[in-house]
Structure 1
Amino acid sequence: MNSKAYRLVILSLFVSMALILSYVESLIPVPLPIPGAKIGLPNIITLVSLLTLGWPLTLLVVIARVLLAGFMFGGGFSIIYSLAGGLLSLFIMTLILHFSRNDFSLIIISIFGAIAHNLGQVIVASIVVQTSSLMLYFLFLMLLAIPTGFFVGITARELMRLLKKTTIFNRLNN
C-alpha cells in the first residue's frame, strides 16, 4: 500500500475513533450543573493524531469529527461551538508542541488544549448571545478543564507509549 493510501486509512481510523468517543461521551452523564461540561474524550484522538500525523491532517480529523458528531448527536449550534473549541484547542496545542521542543509534557499540552477548547466555545457563545458576561462562566469551565485535560493527557500519553511499540506509523514517513 502506498504512503498516501496508508495515510488516508490512518486518518479515517482516527476520525472513526474520535466519533466513537464522541458518542460514548454523549452517554456519560456529567454530574455538574454546568451546561456543556464534558470530559473531552475525542481529544485523546486529537492529541495522538497531532503527534503522529501532524497538524494539517489533524485539522481534517477535528473538522470531520465535529461535523459528523454534530449531525449525528447534536445540532447546528453544537457544531459551531464544538468547531470553535476544537480549532482553538488544536491551534494552541500545535503552537505549544512546535515551540516547546518537548519541554512540556503531553499532560500540560492537553490541559492547555482543554482550556482553549472551553475558551473557544465561550467566545462563540458570547458572540451569539451578545454579552461578555459569559467570560465569568469560562472561569468555572477552566477549573473543570484542568482535571479533564489531565485525564485526556494521561490517556493520550499511555496510548502513544503503546503505539510506539507497534509498526503502525512506520509507513507514514515513506
Structure 2
Amino acid sequence: MKNRAAYFGVFTALALIFSYVETLIPIQFGIPGVKLGLANLIIVIMLYKGTVREAFLLSIVRILLSGFLFGNLFSIVYSLAGGVCSLLVMYILKKRGTFSVIGVSIAGGVFHNIGQLSIAMAVVETVAIGYYLPALLAAGALTGALIGVVSDAVLKRTAKMNLGQ
C-alpha cells in the first residue's frame, strides 16, 4: 500500500512535466484554449492503472499546480471545468466497457473542451461564443485520439505492472 503514494508522486511529476513541456511548444492552433493535452496522457493511464479516485485527485492536483506554476486563476478555472467534465465522461465510458482506451480518450478530449466552453459562456454571459464548438469538438477528437493511441501503447507495454497494490 505504501508504494501507491510513491506511484502517485511519480504520476504527478510526469503530469507536471508534460504540462510544462506543452507551454514550450510554440504551435498555435488559432482557436483559444486548444492545446495538445499532453498531461492528459498521464490522467488516462492513471484511470486504467489506478482507481477513479486516484485519477480524479491526480487531475485536480495537476491542474492546480500547473495553473499556479504556468498559468493564472482563469486557466485554473477553465482547466478544472474541462478536467472534471472530461474525467467524469471517461470514467463512465471506461466502466461501461464498450469503448477502447482510444475511444475513452477521444471522448475525454471532446468533453474537456465542452466543459471549458461552458465555463467561458458563463463567464462572458453569452452563448454567442458557442460558434467555437465545432472547431473545439474537432480539436478535442483529434488530440484525444493522439493521447489515446499513446496511452493504449503505454498501457499494453506496462500491462504486467501494478501500482503498488
Change (3 A) 1:13 1:131: same
Q: 1:107 aligns with which of 87, 95, 102?
A: 102
Matched with 1:123 is 118
Paired residues in the alignment total 165
- Equivalent pair of 2:67/2:75 in contact (CA under 8 Å): yes
Alpha-carbon shift at residue 12 of structure 1 (Å)? 1.1
How well do the aligned residues superpose, as a CA RMSD in angstroms? 1.1
Match for residue 18 of structure 2? 21
**Contact between 1:14 and 1:45, CA under 8 Å: does it hold in 2?**
yes
Structure 2 unpaired stretches of 5+: none
1:79-115 residue CA offsets vs partner (Å, 9 max, x unmatched) = 000011011100000000112x2x2111111110000
What is the one-letter code of the residue matched to 1:84? A
2:136 matched to which residue of 1? 141
Instruction: Tell me the residue number matched to 1:171.
Output: 164
- 1:30 Cα deviation from its structure 2 partner: 2.4
Q: How far, CA to CA, are the matches of 2:120 and 2:93 in structure 1?
A: 25
Structure-2 separation of matches of 1:63 and 1:50: 13
Distance 1:151 1:141 in 2: 15
What's the secondary structure of 1:171's corresponding residue? coil
Q: Distance in 2 between matches of 1:71 and 1:96?
A: 31
Distance 2:43 2:8 in 1: 11
**Which of 124, 146, 151 is matched with 1:151 structurally?**
146
Q: 1:145 to 1:76 in 2, by over 3 A?
A: same
8 Å contact from structure 1 (residues 81, 121) kept in 2: yes
TM-score normalized with structure 2 length: 0.96
Q: 1:121 to 1:170 in 2, by over 3 A?
A: closer
- The 1-side partners of 2:61 and 2:164 are apart by 23
Could you tell me which residue of structure 1 aligns to residue 127 of structure 2? 132
Match of 2:59 in 1: 62
1:54 CA displacement:
1.4
2:27 match: secondary structure: coil
Distance 2:7 2:26 in 1: 30
Alpha-carbon distance in 2 for matches of 1:170, 1:72: 27
Report the Cα distance in structure 2 between the residues aligned to 1:170 and 1:125, rounded to whole angstroms.
37
Give the share of equivalent positions with the same residue, in percent.
38
Q: What is residue 87 of structure 1 aligned with on the other side?
A: 84
d(CA) in 2 for partners of 1:56, 1:85: 17
